[in-house]
Amino acid sequence: MVEVRPRVGVSGCLLGSPVRYNGGHSRCRFLTDELAEYVQWAQTCPEAEIGLGVPRPMVRLLSDGRLVAKDGPADHSRAVAELAERSSPGWGELDGFVVKARSPSCGLFGVPRYSAGLPGERTDGQPVDHRGRGAFTAALTAACPDLPVEEDGRLNDPGLREHFVERLFAHARLRGLLSGGWSAGDLVAFHSRHELQIMAHDPQGCRESGGIVARAGASREETARQYRRVFARALAVRPSRGRHVDALQHVFGLLSARLNRPCRLDLLETISAFEAGLVPLSLPVALLRHHAVSRELPYVAGQTYLDPYPRELRLRHYL
Ligand code: SF4
């Protein structure tokens, strides 16, 4: 299978572009120093793209979702909606998006919202709540509900970071498959390689996607549409430690007949140590992968669960 480089949309200020209202940036080191080597960025700055320029007056989000000037009467909501409409054809080519936290245009969660003058709202100039979504990101997530979207602050959490990156690479592989002249056999091979990875996230989604693959052939377009949706939604479920343990034990079960007793005991002990939080996920995964490769078991060795993204990112060292 040809590995495809993920295409990732990003708030430009996170890559160090000086596009903030004050001419500064909000460079995110994980993106620029670690992830950049493995992905292709599609950067945007919604406020600059709607013509506000740099530097520019500050904007704020209102409780009714409008994006307006902090001081003055300007309402930029229509311009953002038009930008979203122009950009949306390109969103289908993306494997994910990283947005700037708390921005009234780009934030994903917890953006401060100010009074739109609705009955009962405070009038002292303070936010009415911190439950908003930036105007541009709201349009993005409404148009692409299955696209992995994260914000820079949450990427500091090792679990959220690993989950997001895993989804980027899985989306890219599926995009690579479906954008070519694929056959039902290609989809079967893709699903077979991803089976344990999907199962670790969502066993029900794994069964559902397997059913779509089994029925593949009637309408390629409909099959692709259904598989893409179920695959994305299954991977959007964050795997618990228990689900990882189930997946590791499943891999162990596929290998055990080919292993001697000391190897089996060593693996079981390592999986138990991961379950108890004594060793990171990277350890049992590396051992299982090693045994699968050395015993020449291609079905197991080829499982994306054991190799979901470039190892150099070392994200499972912290799970
Ligand atoms: S948060 Fe979004 S709108 Fe603000 S500077 Fe960054 S990219 Fe531009």
From ligand 1's centre to the CA of 12, what distance in Å?
7
What is the average pLDDT across 29-47?
Answer: 98
Residues 6+ apart with CB under 8 A from 73: none
What is the average pLDDT across 174-178?
Answer: 96
From ligand 1's centre to the CA of 166, what distance in Å?
25
* pLDDT of 47 above 60: yes
From ligand 1's centre to the CA of 134, what distance in Å?
10
Confidence of residue 222 (pLDDT cuts 50, 70, 90): very high
Check if the beta carbon of residue 116 is closer than 8 Å to that of residue 63.
yes
Kind of pairing, strands 96-99 and 149-151?
Answer: parallel
What is the average pLDDT across 61-81?
Answer: 96
Site to substitute for ligand 1 among 8, 10, 11, most atoms within 8 A of C-beta: 11
CA distance 43 to 237: 26
What's the DSSP call for residue 205?
Answer: H
* pLDDT of 3 above 90: no
pLDDT digits (tens, 9 = 90+) for 76-118: 999 999 999 999 999 999 999 999 999 999 999 999 999 999 9
Share of the chain above pLDDT 90, in %: 95
C-alpha Rg value of the chain to the nearest Å: 22
Tokens 């996920």, located at residue: 281
Confidence of residue 2 (pLDDT cuts 50, 70, 90): low
From ligand 1's centre to the CA of 221, what distance in Å?
36
pLDDT digits (tens, 9 = 90+) for 5-17: 999 999 999 999 9
Number of CB atoms found within 10 A of residue 314's CB? 12
Confidence of residue 1 (pLDDT cuts 50, 70, 90): low
CA distance 51 to 69: 13
Query: Atom 8, ligand 1: which residue's CA is nearest?
Result: 45
pLDDT digits (tens, 9 = 90+) for 124-164: 999 999 999 999 999 999 999 999 999 999 999 999 999 99
SS3 101: coil
DSSP string, 207-273: HHHHHHHHTTTS-HHHHHHHHHHHHHHHHTSPPPHHHHHHHHHHHHHHHGGGS-HHHHHHHHHHHHH
* Predicted local distance difference test score (pLDDT) of residue 268: 98
Q: If residue 194 lies in a helix (H) or strand (E), which one and from where to where?
A: helix 184-201
Site to substitute for ligand 1 among 26, 28, 47, 140, most atoms within 8 A of C-beta: 47
Pocket of ligand 1 (CB under 6 A): 11-13, 19-20, 45-48, 100, 103, 105-106
